[in-house]
């Protein structure tokens, strides 16, 4: 399936969303222009990244959402989340055919309530396979893998901005070969098969290949992944992005050619994401360099750190993160925020008024049901909307948004989009009669979604 067959609802244009506009609402409100280093510079990582057209996210361990010190930092600083473990194969399908979405859904719900973007991690991986899958091979394994991809991507459809479709499929060292694994032994085309299945299940999510030790442009592993992406693009395999995990810890350092790596992948026509950043002992210089490199590459969409506090890290003894165990900001935090604030602000639309917080609007009646809009939370770059349907238990509601605004995620319904990407038809999916969505303002902070019709059945 070629990219052109994607539904447009969360296409590349949307990526610009996060992106361009966070500053806009804030600046409009403040009536000021943020200059590098000026007094009005953003004071959190997420808000500052959004001003530069990026996100700043973190891996989240769902069990820690009960820790209020943790959640306070999460909600204040970050506008993107990745499940540290809860969307892995063993977590989601512990027994064949039995899917466990509880923890993952909880994270998605938390993200939605905060307007955070969600990266899904990961659909196909040689590691963290449940026992039943580890023991499989051949066609049986290939089919089980594809079924997992399809089931999971379908379950989360409309809620995931980017999927790490395949994780860590290349070998370390100088061979440039694929990593040997049970999945690899099902045939070299397992990666593209996974991407095709993911595209089919969720045409609106961007699909990434994610790996570690592909940060140094000179490394054979980096070159091998580059050639795979080049090949996929040339053959129309649906790939949208490459994730560089960037664990600069435990023996691998920030390489001086990192920016070359980012821009070289981007030149293939894919976005690049820094997906699991942590740096041993959190040196400010290295963190600053990573931020500056991402900001220098237009297709570098954002940075995710692999945990919030050092005590949350998978390598806590290396203190590789931006907050210490007490939740205090470390020098690396200040370096990252300053680098973000000093970055170039991408061109934006011309906002005039701050987002209205006005009253619910009642749309025109449709064929047998009524859809009532309730405005939800508003952030600098985006806002939530809820729509409640009365008069029918199964329904479809047509919602139009005003470009350049884009819908970035939805919940409690099954969305499809028209070819412009501006008109969403939301169908009931058994989740009740209230659905919702997040809209990125993209430079227009005043427009609000319009209900075009509500049709029963």
Residue 259 Cα distances to 162, 289, 291, angstroms: 22, 9, 10
Closest CA to 313 of 279, 283, 336: 279
Rank residues 82 and 345 by Cβ distance to ligand G2I and give the closer one: 82
- What is the distance between the alpha carbons of residues 397 and 371, in angstroms, rounded to a whole number? 7
Interface mask toward ligand G2I for 211-250; x: CB under 6 A: -x--------------------------------x-----
CB of 170 to ligand G2I, least distance (A): 13
Rank residues 59 and 371 by Cβ distance to ligand G2I and give the closer one: 59
- What is the distance between the alpha carbons of residues 103 and 61, in angstroms, rounded to a whole number? 9
Catalytic residue among 77, 86, 161, 168: 168
CB atoms inside a 10 Å sphere around CB 280: 19
85 near ligand G2I, judged by CB under 6 A:
yes
CB of 450 to ligand G2I, least distance (A): 41
- Six-digit token string for 254: 């920030």
Rank residues 305 and 398 by Cβ distance to ligand G2I and give the closer one: 305
- What is the distance between the alpha carbons of residues 31 and 352, in angstroms, rounded to a whole number? 9
- Count CA atoms closer than 13 A to 198's CA, side-chain side: 30
Rank residues 132 and 314 by Cβ distance to ligand G2I and give the closer one: 314
Helix, coil or strand: residue 395: strand
Considering CB under 6 A, how many residues would be counted as binding ligand G2I? 9
- What is the distance between the alpha carbons of residues 339 and 287, in angstroms, rounded to a whole number? 9
- What is the distance between the alpha carbons of residues 322 and 445, in angstroms, rounded to a whole number? 31
Catalytic residue among 77, 86, 161, 276: 276
161 is catalytic: no
Q: 83 with 156: CB under 8 angstroms?
A: no
- What is the distance between the alpha carbons of residues 69 and 327, in angstroms, rounded to a whole number? 7
CB of 242 to ligand G2I, least distance (A): 14
Q: Map tokens 């000021």 to a residue.
A: 32
Rank residues 212 and 383 by Cβ distance to ligand G2I and give the closer one: 212
CB of 86 to ligand G2I, least distance (A): 9
Q: What 8-state DSSP symbol labels residue 433?
A: S
Helix, coil or strand: residue 167: strand
CB of 249 to ligand G2I, least distance (A): 9
Q: Map tokens 């693009």 to a residue.
A: 233
Rank residues 84 and 219 by Cβ distance to ligand G2I and give the closer one: 84
DSSP string across 195-249: HHHHHHH-TTSEEEEEESS--STTSHHHHHHHHHHHHHHHHT----EEEE--EE-
CB of 371 to ligand G2I, least distance (A): 40
CB of 64 to ligand G2I, least distance (A): 11
Helix count and strand count (H, E) for the chain? 12, 17
- Six-digit token string for 33: 């222009």
316 near ligand G2I, judged by CB under 6 A:
no
Per CB under 6 A, the list member of 99, 314, 346, 453 interacting with ligand G2I is 314
276 is catalytic: yes
- Window 243 to 282, contacts with ligand G2I (CB under 6 A): 245, 276
**Cα R_g (the chain), whole angstroms:** 21
- Six-digit token string for 91: 């977590």
CB of 413 to ligand G2I, least distance (A): 30
CB closest to ligand G2I, residue no: 314
Rank residues 78 and 437 by Cβ distance to ligand G2I and give the closer one: 78
Helices (H), 306-413: 331-342
Per CB under 6 A, the list member of 84, 206, 240, 381 interacting with ligand G2I is 84
Interface mask toward ligand G2I for 149-188; x: CB under 6 A: ------------------x---------------------
Rank residues 78 and 212 by Cβ distance to ligand G2I and give the closer one: 212
φ and ψ at residue 211, rounded to 5 degrees: -155, 165
- Six-digit token string for 408: 């970035």
Per CB under 6 A, the list member of 128, 150, 316, 414 interacting with ligand G2I is 128
Rank residues 128 and 260 by Cβ distance to ligand G2I and give the closer one: 128
CB of 245 to ligand G2I, least distance (A): 5
381 near ligand G2I, judged by CB under 6 A:
no
- What is the distance between the alpha carbons of residues 320 and 159, in angstroms, rounded to a whole number? 30
**Residues catalogued as catalytic:** 168, 276
Give the residues lining the site for ligand G2I (CB under 6 A).
84-85, 127-128, 167, 212, 245, 276, 314
């Amino acid at each position: 399936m070629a990219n052109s067959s994607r539904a447009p609802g969360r296409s590349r244009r949307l990526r610009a969303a996060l992106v361009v506009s966070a500053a806009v609402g804030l600046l409009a409100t403040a009536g000021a222009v943020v200059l590098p280093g000026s007094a009005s510079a953003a004071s959190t990582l997420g808000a500052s990244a959004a001003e530069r057209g990026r996100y700043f996210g973190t891996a989240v361990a769902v069990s820690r959402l009960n820790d209020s010190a943790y959640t306070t930092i999460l909600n204040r600083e970050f506008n993107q989340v990745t499940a540290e473990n809860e969307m892995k194969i063993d977590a989601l399908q512990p027994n064949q055919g039995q899917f466990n979405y509880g923890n993952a859904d909880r994270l998605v719900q938390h993200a939605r309530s905060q307007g955070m973007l969600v990266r899904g991690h990961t659909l196909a991986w040689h590691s963290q396979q449940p026992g039943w899958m580890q023991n499989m091979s051949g066609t049986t394994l290939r089919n089980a893998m594809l079924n997992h991809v399809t089931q999971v991507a379908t379950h989360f459809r409309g809620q995931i901005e980017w999927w790490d479709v395949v994780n860590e499929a290349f070998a370390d060292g100088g061979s440039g070969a694929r990593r040997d694994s049970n999945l690899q032994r099902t045939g070299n085309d397992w990666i593209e098969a996974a991407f095709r299945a993911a595209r089919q299940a969720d045409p609106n999510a961007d699909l990434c290949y994610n790996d570690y030790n592909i940060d140094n442009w000179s490394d054979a592993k980096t070159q091998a992944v580059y050639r795979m992406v080049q090949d996929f693009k040339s053959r129309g395999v649906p790939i949208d992005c490459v994730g560089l995990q960037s664990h600069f810890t435990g023996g691998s350092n920030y390489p001086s050619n990192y920016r070359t790596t980012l821009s070289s992948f981007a030149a293939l026509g894919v976005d690049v994401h820094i997906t699991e950043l942590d740096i041993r002992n959190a040196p400010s210089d290295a963190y600053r360099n990573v931020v500056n490199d991402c900001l220098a590459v237009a297709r570098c969409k954002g940075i995710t750190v692999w945990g919030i506090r050092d005590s949350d890290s998978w390598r806590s003894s290396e203190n590789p993160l931006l907050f210490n165990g007490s939740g205090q900001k470390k020098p690396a935090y200040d370096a990252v925020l300053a680098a973000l604030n000093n970055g170039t602000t991408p061109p934006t639309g011309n906002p005039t008024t701050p987002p209205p917080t006005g009253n619910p609007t009642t749309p025109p009646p449709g064929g047998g049901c009524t859809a009532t809009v309730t405005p939800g939370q508003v952030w600098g770059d985006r806002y939530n909307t809820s729509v409640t349907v009365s008069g029918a238990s199964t329904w479809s509601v047509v919602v139009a948004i005003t470009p350049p605004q884009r819908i970035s995620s939805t919940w409690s319904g099954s969305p499809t989009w028209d070819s412009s990407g501006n008109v969403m038809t939301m169908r009931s999916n058994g989740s009740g009669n209230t659905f919702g969505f997040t809209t990125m303002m993209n430079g227009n902070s005043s427009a609000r979604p319009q209900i075009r019709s509500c049709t029963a059945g």
